[in-house]
């Protein structure tokens, strides 16, 4: 029993410590998240982006190692050995077991003086790889920025839809109350009154769906930000959002995208890296010149006449030499490397050309989407205003008894459909406008 209590107390302590640690990581988070808060948080804390940052740090270490390859290498060696064996005893005769000790000590150093420019080009290659790794981080940041923007706007869309449907429900509840009064007064039939109830229930159902949709979109953004499940995530609704922004023409937008997008710069670096790798491959056909030096000495107890330090001094020697290595025949290894490097250059050029075409297509598609969504928004706004006015008139006529429930339901359905189309068109226009401008280098913001 005592052992069980100890385990239980330890478990509670560890659990409390884990909760405290989790809470400490959430201390500096905003109470309500703006779009900019979401984007900045994801850029700093997203697991995939941080993984790419670690790749960049690894590439930086490769660069440092490549630069250090130009420096001399220095190594020391020390060996101490004992040999136990039988030797002839010249005094008493016969064989006698004897242990002999010996030691060898040395310091070696070498430096490459010339290797066909391999070391220089290897440093350049590592610098390009580091730049490419950093651009990969930017690409991932751009992707998650657009994902977050879409998710954030979906939340605002669902929230605005909920607000409008709440107003519709309030109107339906008022109509139901009027219907109850008229039914009690005997001016409408039970069938007409039941239609009031059915319409109110339908509006309640639509409102529940809208609220569920809002919660699901909130969850989607929360999961995109990789926040813990226990965190109470709330978004801050911007004061105003411009639906129709100024935007450059298609040609200007495509030129701006080609000049600023990291995927284009990354593929251009791919061509540069392929050229440098070709120079490295050609270095394999050139001589290598290296300089080496060696300091060494040794000791053995077989020479009993000379003490340890006397032997170390007498056996001390120094060597200094120049080595030239000339490749004569490599069984086509060097030639194959050169030819494959040339092929890699052509492949890198094709990758860049494909990326440019793809990017132009994406910008053009965004441009068409912006035009379509803005036209839809303009039409939907007119339709909603007209439907709202017609619905308001019909609602007033119902109060006066000038229209029946069927006519009211028809006008209400038209109004709700126009309302939903308007909200959808509004946020679609905002989203595609943000995407289009983002391709040109304009940061996403409200």
Query: Do 190 and 207 share a domain, yes or no?
Result: yes
**Residue 160 sits in the same domain as residue 261:** yes
CA atoms in the 13 A half-sphere facing the CB of 1: 0
Residue 41, φ and ψ in degrees, nearest 5: -65, -45
Domain co-membership, 119 together with 108: no
Residues 224 and 151 in one domain: yes
Residue 276 has pLDDT above 60, yes or no: yes
Across 11-16, average pLDDT: 46
Please indicate, yes or no, whether residues 58 and 163 belong to a single structural domain of this protein.
yes
Is the domain of 127 the same as that of 194? yes
**Across the chain, how many H-helices and E-strands are there?**
10, 4
For the stretch 42-100, pLDDT in tens is: 999 999 999 999 999 999 999 999 999 999 999 999 998 887 656 665 555 556 666 67
- Is 98 domain-assigned? yes
Q: Which of 20-24, 189-193, 211-215, 437-441 has the lowest mean pLDDT?
A: 20-24
Does any domain span residue 20? Answer: no
Are residues 56 and 84 both part of a single domain? no
Calpha distance 249→256 (Å, rounded): 11
Quote the pTM value: 0.84
Please tell me the distance from the alpha carbon of residue 418 to that of residue 383, in angstroms, as a whole number: 6
pLDDT digits (tens, 9 = 90+) for 368-405: 999 999 999 999 999 999 998 998 888 788 777 777 77
Which residue range(s) make up the domain with 130? 30-71+115-286+329-439
- Dihedral sign computed on CA atoms, order 380, 384, 386, 387: positive
Select from 297, 326, 355 the last residue of a domain: 326
| Overall number of domains in the chain | 2
Predicted confidence (pLDDT) per residue in 202-218, tens digit: 999 999 999 999 999 99
State which of 326, 343, 377 marks the end of a domain.
326
Residue 2 falls within a domain, yes or no?
no
Same domain, 132 and 162: yes
Same domain for 301 and 369?
no
pLDDT tens, position by position, 324-378? 999 999 899 999 999 999 999 999 999 999 999 999 999 999 999 999 999 999 9
Same domain, residue pair 152 and 239 = yes
**Does residue 12 fall inside a structural domain?**
no
Query: Does residue 13 fall inside a structural domain?
Result: no
- 352 and 396 within one domain: yes
- Please indicate, yes or no, whether residues 103 and 232 belong to a single structural domain of this protein: no
Domain boundary among 326, 351, 375: 326
What integer pLDDT is reported at residue 94 of this predicted model? 59
- Is residue 408 one of the residues assigned to a domain? yes
Asked if residue 1 belongs to a domain, the reply is no
Q: Which long-range contacts (CB under 8 A, 24 or more apart) does 46-51 make?
A: 46/140, 46/144, 46/225, 46/226, 47/226, 48/140, 48/144, 49/137, 49/140, 49/141, 49/144
Cβ contact 192:404 at 8 Å: yes
């Amino acid at each position: 029993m005592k052992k069980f209590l100890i385990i239980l107390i330890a478990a509670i302590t560890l659990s409390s410590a884990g909760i405290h640690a989790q809470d400490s990581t959430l201390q500096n988070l905003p109470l309500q998240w703006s779009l900019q808060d979401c984007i900045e948080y994801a850029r700093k804390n997203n697991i995939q982006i941080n993984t790419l940052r670690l790749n960049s740090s690894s590439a930086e270490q490769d660069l440092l190692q490549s630069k250090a390859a130009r420096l001399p290498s220095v190594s020391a060696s020390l060996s101490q050995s004992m040999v136990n064996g039988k030797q002839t005893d010249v005094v008493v005769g016969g064989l006698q077991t004897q242990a002999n000790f010996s030691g060898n000590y040395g310091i070696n150093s070498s430096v490459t003086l010339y290797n066909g420019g391999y070391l220089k080009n290897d440093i350049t290659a590592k610098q390009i790889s580091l730049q490419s790794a950093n651009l990969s981080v930017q690409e991932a940041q751009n992707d998650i920025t657009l994902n977050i923007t879409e998710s954030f706007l979906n939340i605002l869309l669902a929230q605005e839809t909920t607000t409008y449907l709440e107003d519709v429900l309030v109107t339906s509840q008022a109509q139901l109350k009027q219907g109850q009064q008229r039914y009690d007064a005997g001016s409408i039939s039970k069938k007409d009154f039941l239609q009031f109830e059915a319409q109110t229930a339908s509006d309640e159902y639509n409102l529940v769906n809208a609220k569920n949709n809002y919660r699901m979109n909130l969850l989607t953004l929360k999961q995109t930000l990789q926040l813990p499940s226990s965190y109470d995530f709330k978004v801050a609704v911007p004061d105003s959002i411009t639906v129709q922004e100024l935007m450059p023409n298609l040609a200007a937008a495509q030129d701006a995208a080609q000049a600023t997008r990291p995927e284009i710069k990354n593929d251009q670096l791919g061509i540069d890296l392929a050229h440098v790798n070709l120079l490295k491959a050609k270095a394999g056909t050139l001589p290598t010149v290296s300089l080496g030096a060696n300091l060494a000495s040794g000791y053995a107890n077989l020479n009993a006449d000379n003490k340890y330090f006397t032997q170390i001094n007498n056996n001390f020697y120094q060597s200094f030499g120049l080595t030239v290595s000339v490749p004569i025949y490599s069984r086509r290894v060097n030639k194959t490397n050169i030819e494959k490097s040339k092929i890699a250059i052509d492949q890198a050029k094709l990758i860049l050309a494909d990326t440019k075409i793809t990017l132009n297509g994406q910008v053009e598609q965004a441009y068409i989407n912006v035009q379509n969504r803005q036209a839809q928004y303009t039409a939907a706004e007119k339709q909603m205003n007209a439907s709202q006015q017609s619905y308001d008139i019909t609602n007033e006529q119902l109060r006066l008894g000038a229209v029946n429930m069927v006519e009211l339901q028809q006008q209400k359905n038209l109004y709700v459909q126009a309302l939903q189309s308007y909200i959808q068109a509004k946020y679609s226009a905002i989203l595609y406008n943000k995407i289009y401008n983002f391709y040109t280098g304009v940061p996403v913001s409200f």
